[in-house]
Amino acid sequence: MGAKKKNTKPIVKATKASSPPSKTSASNGASSTSPPPLRTSVIPSVFMAVVAFMAGVVTPPSLHAVQDGANPSTSNSSLPDAPSSSFPLPAHVPCTPSNLENYLHATPVPGLHVVCVEPINESADGTVHAFPETDDISRKLSRSNSLRLTFYKDAHAAPLKRRVKVSGDTFGPGGVESIEWLHLKMQLIMELGLAPEGPTQQPWAAFTASGERIVGENDDVSKDGDGIGSNERTLRTIAASGMMVVVQGGNWVWPGVREGFRRTIELAFPPSSDESRNITIETLSLRPLVLSVEGFLTEDECDHIAEKAGPSMKYSSVSLKDADRGRAASDWRTSQSTFLLADNDRTLKNIERRTGSLTRVPRSHQEYVQVLRYGTGEKYDAHHDYFDPVSYKSDKGTLNLIQNGKKNRFATVFWYLTDVDEGGHTVFPRAGGLPPVRDHSDCSRGLRVQPQKGKVIIFYSLDASGALDPLSLHGACPVGEDNVKWAANKWIWNAPMGFVRD
Nearest residue to 367 (alpha-carbon basis) of 420, 396, 325, 410 = 410
CA 14 – CA 418 distance, rounded (Å): 55
Mean pLDDT of the chain: 84
Reported as a single tens digit per residue, the pLDDT across 412-438 is 999 999 999 999 999 999 999 999 999
Give the three-class secondary structure for 156. Answer: strand
For the beta carbon of residue 142, count every other beta carbon within 10 angstroms: 22
What is the per-residue pLDDT for 16? 47
* Strand duo 128-130 + 161-167: pairing: unpaired
Inform me whether the pLDDT recorded for 291 exceeds 80: yes
pLDDT band at residue 189, thresholds of 50, 70 and 90?
very high
Render pLDDT for 473-484 as a digit per residue (tens, 0 to 9): 999 999 999 999
Give the whole-angstrom CA distance, residue 241 versus residue 232: 14
DSSP 217-260: TT---BSSSSSTTBHHHHHHHHHHHSEEEEETTSS------STT
Query: How confident is the model over 6-25, as a mean pLDDT?
Result: 44
Q: What is the pLDDT of residues 352-409, one digit of tens each?
A: 999 999 999 999 999 999 999 999 999 999 999 999 999 999 999 999 999 999 999 9
Q: Are 490 and 367 in contact (CB under 8 A)?
A: yes
138-165 average pLDDT score? 90
Confidence of residue 128 (pLDDT cuts 50, 70, 90): confident
Report the DSSP pairing between strands 336-340 and 314-315: antiparallel
Range with the lowest mean pLDDT among 224-233, 280-289, 446-455, 480-489?
224-233
Label the pairing between strands 243-247 and 213-216.
unpaired
Contact by Cβ (8 Å): 95, 201: no
The DSSP line for 257-285 is: -STT-EEEEEEESSTTSS-EEEEEEEEEE
User: Rounded CA gap, 113 and 97, in Å?
Assistant: 16
Q: How does residue 494 score in pLDDT terms, banded at 50, 70 and 90?
A: very high
| DSSP-assigned beta bridge partners for residue 409 | 493
For the cut 50, the answer to whether the pLDDT of residue 214 exceeds it is yes
CA distances from 429 to 64, 157, 283, 285 (A): 37, 28, 17, 12
How far is the C-alpha of 386 from the C-alpha of 393, rounded, in Å? 15
H or E stretch covering 348: helix 346-359
Distance from C-alpha of 247 to C-alpha of 211, rounded to nearest angstrom: 10
- DSSP letter at 305 equals H
Q: Which range among 12-16, 161-165, 430-434 shows the weakest confidence by mean pLDDT?
A: 12-16
pLDDT of residue 413: 98
Closest to 156 in 3D by CA, of 96, 111, 98, 92: 111
- pLDDT at position 485 is 98
Q: How far is CA 262 from CA 117, 226, 498, in A?
A: 25, 37, 33
